[in-house]
Chains A and B, each alone.
Chain A
Amino acid sequence: MENSTTMIGSKGVIKKHEFVRILIQCLYSLGYDKSASCLESESGISYKSSEFKLLESLVVGADWEGCIDNLYGIKELTDEQRDTALFLVSKQYFVECLGRGDDSLALSLLRKQISKLKVGREKVHMLAFGLLSLGMNKVHDDNGFQELRKYLISELEQVIPPPITVPDRRLEHLVETVAASQVNSCIYHNSLDPVSIYKDHRCGRDQLPTETVQILSAHKNEVWFVQFSNSGNYLASSSSDCTAIIWKVLEDSKLVLEHTLKSHQNPVSFVAWSPDDTMLLTCGNSEVLRLWDVETGTCKHTFGDNGFLVSSCAWFPDSNRLVCGSSDPKKGICMWDCEGNEIKAWRGIRMPKISDIAVTPNGEYLISIFSDRDIRILNVGMNTERVISEEHPITSLSVSGDSKYLIVSLNSQEIHMWDVEGCFEKPLRYKGHRQHKYVIRSCFGGANGMFIASGSENSQVYIWNRRMSDPVEVLSGHSMTVNCVSWNPKRHQMLASASDDQTIRIWGPSSEKACSKEL
């Protein structure tokens, strides 16, 4: 028999017999019963404590009075745990009485003992109702009772605390906790794959896009906006050269030009992919809204006219309804379907100019930026809204892929993250980049949206891990202000940036050879 105060581990804080006991539990839970009982006999440590084995034998032998006395005798139980355990045992006793037809004993048990336990009256009333024996799950025979008693034992195991029992799957839980904690503190962690427990987990910066792998130069003027499609197979970009371009992402992660969308008269400052990626919306500050078919590159519809200038737009998950906000005050927000039929509108004197608009991917919230500084979050289903007022002008709005968070870029050189449902009292702040005068945009990215990327007026791209307010990476390469960034939602190591230097850069991990292919 092991001395129960022997310690193991380099720090001497773990008791050996506890360690062995959870190992035995683990073997049993994995189905290795022979190994488990072998370990029990080799170590002299039993998985089930002697107190529990006693209780178990009382249950199997249906010595209910004995069980009840036993439970009263266990000092480690809190009153709540004791009453819960007593209820479970008494319930089985009650059910067996009814099964044998001994109604009066069952009734007396209910009245004298069970109704006095503090377990919530619905449970007691349920048993009273059971006296009617409505024939559901009626158990008469001993085999049936044995099954129920086994189930009772496992229920008691959940209620009775350690050290008499060991919480379910204890070793798994301990290992998982450590692995999760290592992943959480890993600032470059950018994958959804399971981690190996052979080594302490720590990613290097090669997990993030840090090197230019391609430069796209097809635009003839400043590039103002980029966005990857939802499938990650395409990139859309728009420019002050009044065009938008759709690029295709090939298998080997290289991009090629697919369509150039020409018909706007003014710079195009915003694009939005339909959730099913078959359509693209383009608009600009002094422009109407156009709907393009991605496959053919042709314009399918134009919304609005010179009287209704659209500053930004967003899709609902059905890829049929779209909303756009107007940069004219009072013109408000309009919801259309793809054929151009107006579905709903929010207009009027209380509608100031809208500079940005987004719909959460789950379609539940419509978020818009009003008058530069107000974030309005409208719950579409319940038609309730709340407003967050920022102190500085907002230049971009992005929503996370899980619909839970939003980030806004501010002219005070900070990016603020708020939660959509409204629990945050203060925002999380990210800083380090430069933003004073121009519209600089930011986005979520990486596996699980754990990173934030932003452009900057000092021609660099900044990347933050959401857990920290200082950047983890600063990417150089562009020669002028970087206006917008987009992180590929499916290829988590691909980032695109758009700059006033008329190029788009595609960034990838540093292990790949950085080849700048001019296009």
Chain B
Amino acid sequence: MKEEEIGSTMDVDPKQYEQIIINGKDSHNIILSYLIHGCFKDTVESLVASTGLKVSAAQLEDMEKRKGILHFALNGNVLGAIQLTEEVSPDLLEKDKGLLFDLLSLRFVELISSKKCTEALEFAQAKLTPFGKMQDYVEKLEDFMALLAYEEPEKSPVFHLLSLDYRQHVADKLNRAILAHACMPSYSELERIIQQATVVRQCLSGDLGKDVVSPFSLKDFLKS
């Protein structure tokens, strides 16, 4: 086997890749599923126009709605996001208490970020108190309530709750839940393929044992 510069000696000879033929339609579908998952409606429309793939009106409408919900969630309007979610996926939030908690606590965080502490406290007392009686949520709720204790919450030990990363995390969770509720796949095909490739390579290098120094890096692989 030819040795690669980076990665393990287990790397397959790139010429072997050329033996595998990939169906063009498969590639397009992978891209499409990724775009639908991420609500990139305009991009989907132009992809459909250039490739002849089919996308239904229902799918387009669903993308539009989800786009709206996620936009609200990320940009300071969680209450709006909750309302739209109840229209699109009724009883989703009733059944998924964890998701409801995440959204309500995100609203709480919004109020803290806009320095409306008294309102935040009132909101928490009204909406978050029931979760305080459930063992699974107590620890998380303690962290959120701690935000109230600091005049500069961004410098507190729980500052990460105010970050964009956290909002993104909740938005992703919401997106997957809505898709699952509509019996659509909650992970796009592209994500799945990358996850699978990473796991397989890690298993292989794990089996080899000590010879391999670095774990699989997608970035490096793509450059090679």
Contacts and interface: CB of A to CB of B under 8 A. Distances in A.
Contacts of A128: 142, 145-149
B142 A134 contact: no
Interface in A104-118: 104, 107, 110-112, 114-115
A125 B145 contact: yes
A134 B157 CA distance: 24
A112 B148 CA distance: 11
A129 B147 CA distance: 10
Given A124-B146, A125-B146, A131 B151 contact: no
Chain B, interface size: which category? 20 to 34
B117 A134 contact: no
Nearest to B120: A107
Contacts of B142: 125-126, 128-129
B118 A132 contact: no
Interface in B152-167: 157
A138 to B, nearest CB: 13
Contacts of A104: 118
B10 interface: no
Given A129-B141, A131-B124, A111 B132 contact: no
A278 interface: no
Given A111-B117, A125-B142, A133 B125 contact: yes
Nearest to B151: A111
Given A107-B118, A131-B121, A131-B125, A114 B149 contact: yes
B15 interface: no
Interface residues of A, number: 19
B221 to A, nearest CB: 42
A125 B151 contact: no
Contacts of A103: 121, 125
A121 interface: yes
A111 B128 contact: no
B150 interface: yes
Interface string B119-142: 001001100110011000000011
Residue with the greatest number of chain B CB neighbours at <10 A, chosen from A111, A127, A133: A111
A406 to B, nearest CB: 40
A111 B133 contact: no
A103 B124 CA distance: 12
Contacts, number: 58
Residue with the greatest number of chain B CB neighbours at <10 A, chosen from A103, A104, A129: A129
Given A107-B121, A111-B117, A125-B142, A132 B129 contact: yes
Contacts of B133: 134
Contacts of A127: 149
A113 to B, nearest CB: 10
A134 B118 CA distance: 18
Nearest to A116: B151
A112 B145 contact: no
Interface string A133-146: 11000000000000
Contacts of B157: 121
Given A104-B118, A121-B157, A132-B124, A111 B129 contact: no
Contacts of B128: 132
A125 B161 CA distance: 15
B129 A131 contact: no
Contacts of B132: 129, 132, 134
A107 B129 contact: no
B150 A115 contact: yes
A125 B141 CA distance: 10
B149 A124 contact: yes
B151 A132 contact: no
B117 A107 contact: yes
B148 A107 contact: yes
Nearest to B146: A125
Interface string A331-370: 0000000000000000000000000000000000000000
Nearest to A112: B151
A263 B73 CA distance: 87
Nearest to B157: A121
Given A103-B125, A112-B151, 9 more contacts: A111-B148, A111-B151, A121-B157, A128-B142, A128-B145, A129-B146, A131-B121, A133-B129, A134-B132
28 contacts: A103-B125, A107-B117, A111-B117, A111-B149, A111-B150, A111-B151, A115-B151, A121-B146, A121-B157, A124-B149, A125-B143, A125-B146, A125-B149, A126-B142, A128-B147, A128-B148, A129-B145, A129-B146, A131-B124, A132-B124, A132-B125, A132-B128, A132-B132, A132-B141, A132-B145, A133-B125, A133-B129, A134-B129
Interface of A: 103-104, 107, 110-112, 114-115, 121, 124-129, 131-134
- The 4 tightest CB contacts between A and B, nearest first, are A125-B146, A128-B145, A115-B149, A128-B149
